[in-house]
């Protein structure tokens, strides 16, 4: 039995906490706010994120970071990518050097353009494992068969995490390509915003298939330029995650794109969803990474201009469709 803390009691953190609890681990959920902790202790349910999913009484719930982190075998980071660095700074004084950090957030730090494993490693010296893949919390919490991948600079730790999370409904693969796993997981959220815009405009399957295949080509270009393996981007952490995020009703990134295409302003759409939409901030980071690595990423560029520079969705699509002719391919 492992002692595990989940940092973040949103839908994904809670779903993974439930899974680990079912495997007879000692699980603690950490909430950022005292009132959130009190609510979960009272109702044993996150009615906003995972309605009708009860939190067992043997899962501890706290808002005390020292209590949550001290003497734990594994810390699972399930908070927005934008706050990971600041939370890791707060966690550091209480960490055991042998504690494994498992990050399940997906994104790129805008200020530095670093992947999240690098952000975490700049703040603590512990082994960092990334868990990624096509995995909506709403389905995992209901034991729907799901497959994901784990990666790390130390694959011994990745194998420990693989064994920790593996169940008969949650299958975990290992992959040593840390860059590919992280870039695939982060950038699929950006492409999913465009998929939602396609839905919002009432376009059909042809349009979405074009977006997803050309989208994974752009993600692959950047992933390879940054040192990743192209085969990773065609696997669970790449195309697999892209499929589920572009097509699912659970996808917040797809939903925000849909609302924007229907005429809603970005800030209003974000408030309406009222949950973290990682792809919006990642759109900025991925656009700037494309310039840093001199990679042609016209879809990412169009999404960036649509979100932050006032370009209309229809104009972006027209510009993409009327680009100079070329051969199909990743390069």
Q: Annotated catalytic sites, by residue?
A: 188
> Rounded distance, CA 52 to CA 131, Å?
25
> Rounded distance, CA 4 to CA 71, Å?
9
The Cα diameter of the chain in Å comes to 60
The CA distances from residue 165 to 3, 38, 159, 172, 237, in Å, are: 13, 28, 10, 7, 17
> Rounded distance, CA 192 to CA 254, Å?
5
Give the count of beta carbons closer than 10 Å to the beta carbon of residue 326. Answer: 7
Sign of CA dihedral 229, 234, 236, 240: positive
Closest among 52, 222, 74 to 141, alpha carbons compared:
52
Sign of CA dihedral 131, 134, 138, 141: negative
**Residues contacting residue 310 through CB under 8 Å, at least 6 positions apart:** none
């Amino acid at each position: 039995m492992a002692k595990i803390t989940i940092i973040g009691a949103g839908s994904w953190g809670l779903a993974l906490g439930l899974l680990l609890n079912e495997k007879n681990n000692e699980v603690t959920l950490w909430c950022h706010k005292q009132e959130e902790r009190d609510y979960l202790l009272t109702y044993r349910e996150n009615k906003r994120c995972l309605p009708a999913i009860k939190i067992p009484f043997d899962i501890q719930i706290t808002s005390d970071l020292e209590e949550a982190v001290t003497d734990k075998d594994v810390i699972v980071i399930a908070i927005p990518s934008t706050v990971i660095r600041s939370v890791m700074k707060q966690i550091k004084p209480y960490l055991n050097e042998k504690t494994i950090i498992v990050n399940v957030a997906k994104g790129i730090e805008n200020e530095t353009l670093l992947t999240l494993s690098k952000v975490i490693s700049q703040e603590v010296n512990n082994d960092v494992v990334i868990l990624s893949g096509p995995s909506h919390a709403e389905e995992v919490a209901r034991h729907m068969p799901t497959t994901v991948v784990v990666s790390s600079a130390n694959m011994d730790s990745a194998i420990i995490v693989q064994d920790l999370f593996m169940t008969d409904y949650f299958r975990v693969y290992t992959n040593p390509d840390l860059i590919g796993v992280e870039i695939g997981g982060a950038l699929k959220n950006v492409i999913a915003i465009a998929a939602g815009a396609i839905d919002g405009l009432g376009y059909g399957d042809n349009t979405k298939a074009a977006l997803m295949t050309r989208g994974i080509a752009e993600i692959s270009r950047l992933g390879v330029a940054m040192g990743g393996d192209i085969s990773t981007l065609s696997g669970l952490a790449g195309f697999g995650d892209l499929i589920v995020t572009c097509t699912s009703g659970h996808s917040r990134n797809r939903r925000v794109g849909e609302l924007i295409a229907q005429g809603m302003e970005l800030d209003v759409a974000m408030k309406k969803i009222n949950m973290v939409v990682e792809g919006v901030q990642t759109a900025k980071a991925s656009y700037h990474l494309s310039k840093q690595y001199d990679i042609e990423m016209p879809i990412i560029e169009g999404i960036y201009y649509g979100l932050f520079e006032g370009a209309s969705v229809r104009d972006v699509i027209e510009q993409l469709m009327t680009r100079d002719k070329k051969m199909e391919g990743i390069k």
